[in-house]
């Protein structure tokens, strides 16, 4: 389970990725898309922005630096404590967030632990919590839906399976919930810790008609 692995490895994981978005772990394309999300949010409704699957709150820190009212949600209670902007413990399939209450949300490599057969549940939750006109940015490892199993994840001696989702499947699933996809991008692996292409999708909940 991701929660048990990250509870056990939080200290080492934070040392590896840090507590901020940086060139050490995000490439120029990655950082530019986070910047694009920030600019697009100028057209979003007023409200809070969530870093969903926040880990140590790196994206939350990035958004807070741009003066958003931001909070994080993570399945790992230890990560929630480590994250400066994390307020809630919760799962992507059952977010502790009210309907249509978010101006924006970022899932930065958090759906990688969602099996393909549960993508519908996650995308429905993401659609549920976004206010009309709200934006969503999703980043994940791209593939054909295959699982990558680790018997000793992050040196914890605990098993963990991550999934490389097909970008077109993610797009169709988001679109099926009523979200409109505005951008799709895939880049090749750049860092030594990357073994697959990296995918990014920006979608929006339909604004209310005047």
Crossing angle of helices 167-176 and 119-129, in 10° steps, is: 50
Domain that holds residue 181: 2-107+118-205
pLDDT of residue 186: 97
Flag whether 210 is in a domain: no
pLDDT of residue 154: 61
CA distance 184 to 167: 8
Please give the model's pTM, rounded to 2 decimal places.
0.89
**What own/partner pairs with CB < 8 Å and gap ≥ 24 does 61-69 have?**
61/19, 61/20, 61/21, 61/85, 62/20, 62/21, 62/34, 63/38, 63/106, 66/38, 68/38, 68/41, 68/104
Question: Domain containing 178 — which CATH number?
Answer: 3.40.50.150
Flag whether 103 is in a domain: yes
Instruction: Check if the beta carbon of residue 5 is closer than 8 Å to that of residue 78.
Output: no
Structural domain count, the chain: 1
Percent of the chain at pLDDT > 90 equals: 63
Flag whether 43 is in a domain: yes
Flag whether 25 is in a domain: yes
The string of DSSP letters for 37-62 reads HHHHGGGSPSSEEEEET-TTTHHHHH
pLDDT of residue 94: 92
Flag whether 63 is in a domain: yes
Flag whether 112 is in a domain: no
Flag whether 113 is in a domain: no
pLDDT in tens, 18-68: 678 889 889 999 999 999 999 999 999 999 999 998 888 889 989 999 999
Residue 32: partners with Cβ closer than 8 Å, 6 or more residues away: none
Flag whether 126 is in a domain: yes
């Amino acid at each position: 389970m991701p929660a048990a692995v990250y509870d056990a490895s939080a200290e080492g994981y934070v040392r590896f990725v840090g507590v901020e978005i940086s060139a050490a772990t995000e490439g120029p394309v990655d950082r530019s898309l986070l910047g694009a999300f920030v600019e697009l949010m100028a057209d979003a409704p007023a409200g809070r922005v969530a870093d969903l699957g926040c880990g140590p709150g790196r994206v939350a820190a990035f958004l807070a630096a741009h003066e958003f009212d931001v909070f994080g949600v993570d399945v790992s209670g230890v990560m929630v404590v480590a994250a400066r902007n994390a307020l809630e413990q919760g799962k992507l399939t059952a977010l502790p967030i009210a309907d249509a209450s978010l101006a924006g949300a970022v899932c930065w490599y958090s759906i990688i632990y969602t099996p393909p057969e549960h993508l519908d549940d996650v995308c429905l939750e993401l659609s549920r919590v976004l206010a009309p006109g709200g934006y969503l940015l999703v980043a994940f490892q791209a593939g054909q839906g295959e699982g990558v199993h680790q018997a000793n994840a992050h040196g914890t001696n605990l098993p963990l399976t991550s999934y490389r989702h097909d970008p077109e499947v993610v797009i169709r699933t988001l679109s099926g919930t009523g979200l409109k996809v505005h951008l799709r991008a895939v880049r090749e692996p750049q860092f030594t810790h990357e073994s697959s292409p990296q995918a990014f999708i920006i979608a929006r909940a339909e604004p209310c008609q005047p």
